[in-house]
Amino acid sequence: MKLFHKNNTKTAAVSFLRYIGPGLLVTVGFIDPGNWASNIAAGSQYGYALLWMVTLSTFMLIVLQHNAAHLGIVTGKCLSEATTEYLPSWLRNIVLGTAVVAAVSTAMAEILGSAIALQMLFRIPIKIGSLLTLAVVLILQFTNSYRKIEKIIIGFVSLIGLSFLFEILMVHLDWGAAASGWVVPVFPKNSMPIIMSVLGAVVMPHNLFLHSEVIQSRQWNLQEEAVIQKQLKFEFLDTLFSMTIGWAINSAMILMAAATFFTKGQSVSDLAQAGGMLTPLLGGAASTVFALALLFAGLSSSITAGMAGGSIFAGVFAEPYNIRNRRTKAGILITMVPAALAVLLISSPFDGLIYSQMLLSIQLPITIFTLIWLTSSPRVMGKYANSTRNKILLWAIALTVTFLNLALLASLF
């Protein structure tokens, strides 16, 4: 009997390991260049005090991404397809039209992050680095199946994690202060803009669309109750596992900045500046590893931004994401090409990040409220519609994220 139970447990564990992947694609949006800037600013200016932001933002992210994935599993449709089917035409045009703009805005920030890394590593000008990033991302998206893209992203996330492990091993950390910082909310003087930046920008519109789409790469029979239940269970574990990795990497950024810059009284808000300042403090290897990790983060998040754009655009025509489909390809090009051109036109990288954050702050509430309405509707979800308890939790998180994004938007003016 014990042997039978052991074999079942082993089989379940192997099945889950094979299932892992969709959550990690979403995680790269949680460790994109925009998050890097906020985390490094938090650590360099306030030490370990704002680590609680990472814990809270990760919790909110898990709940919302889990809800988006449930929509994909139960209905067999991504958020864009469900919006097209269940919302009136005037409303769906607003939702999906603004979602495409948000995907372009996100891609611009991700391409910019890669370009900054290429400048740090090889002295390549930002604009040329942006075009190189665009070319690499389009080649990867158009020549690889989803499964291959998934493996590439998992590899990038692993390298980013190892890079920050390397950075942390080089510095002395106050683990007592870090443990307190993770769970005790504090609001140091003048810290609200950074708090709003991290908490308000952690949930990104394109990731909600993307998760509801890529979760369907795990095939299942929607007619069988047991299969759906298994998928729902594995999806939650995949999301929890992947977002925990995101939590660890974001925490590592703050820990590194706190131990390196805060202890020296050096406030940092620019990524290139942070990389350059690591050399005299920790040696050239630290600066190089930092830039390489930023490059991996920028490339991987650019790939997922393009995939999200392809999913959104294909969903407008009630079609799923399929790289062999011309509408999916058109959606990727509509997302990535204008994003790269925007980088070429802006006067400074900092302005580009500001503009992209403004657009995301405006669009995010539209996507979140659409998602919650769809997953709360028995017409859409059947018996899997959100329970009253889940609705309360989702609306509380949605209103919190919306408030923080609008407050962040107001602060930019």
pLDDT tens profile 166-195: 888 888 899 999 999 999 999 898 888 888
The gap from C-alpha 55 to its chain's centroid, in whole angstroms, comes to 15
Q: Could you give all domains of the chain from N- to C-terminal order, each with its CATH number? A: 22-412 (1.20.1740.10)
pLDDT at 11: 61
**147-179 burial: b if 16+ Cβ within 10 Å, else e:** eebbeebbebbebbbebbeebbebbeeeeeebe
Instruction: Report the C-alpha gap between 204 and 199 in whole angstroms.
Output: 11
Instruction: State yes or no: pLDDT of 5 exceeds 50.
Output: no
Q: What's the pTM value of the predicted model, to 2 decimals?
A: 0.89
Instruction: Report the C-alpha gap between 185 and 53 in whole angstroms.
Output: 8
Summarize pLDDT for 7-30 with one digit per residue, the tens.
555 565 666 666 677 888 888 888
Instruction: State yes or no: pLDDT of 236 exceeds 50.
Output: yes
Instruction: Report the C-alpha gap between 391 and 287 in whole angstroms.
Output: 45
Lowest mean pLDDT segment, chosen from 3-17, 111-125, 311-325? 3-17
Q: Count Cβ atoms within 10 A of the Cβ of residue 9 and give its class: 0-12 exposed, 13-18 middle, 19 or more buried.
A: exposed
- When pLDDT is cut at 50, 70 and 90, the band that residue 4 belongs to is very low
- When pLDDT is cut at 50, 70 and 90, the band that residue 215 belongs to is confident
Instruction: Report the C-alpha gap between 350 and 97 in whole angstroms.
Output: 26
Summarize pLDDT for 315-346 with one digit per residue, the tens.
999 999 999 999 999 999 999 999 999 988 88
From the list 48, 37, 38, 35, the residue with the least C-alpha distance to 263 is 48
Lowest mean pLDDT segment, chosen from 55-64, 68-77, 148-157, 387-396? 148-157
**pLDDT greater at residue 218 or residue 238:** 238
- When pLDDT is cut at 50, 70 and 90, the band that residue 70 belongs to is very high
190: left (phi over 0), alpha (psi -120 to 50) or beta: left
Q: Angle at Cα 346 formed by Cα 341 and Cα 347, nearest 5°?
A: 145
Q: Render 275-304 in DSSP notation, one character per residue.
A: HHHHHHHH-HHHHHHHHHHHHHHHHHHHHH
- 282 near 170, Cβ under 8 Å? yes
**pLDDT greater at residue 24 or residue 268:** 24
Stretch 294-312: mean pLDDT: 94
pLDDT at 274: 75
Within 8 A by CB and 6+ apart from 273, the residues are: none
How far apart, in Å, are the Cα atoms of 188 and each of 50, 134, 257, 400, 410?
A: 9, 40, 17, 20, 20
Any idea which residue has 């660890």 for tokens?
248
How far apart, in Å, are the Cα atoms of 411 and each of 189, 195, 248?
A: 16, 12, 28
Instruction: Report the C-alpha gap between 3 and 214 in whole angstroms.
Output: 35
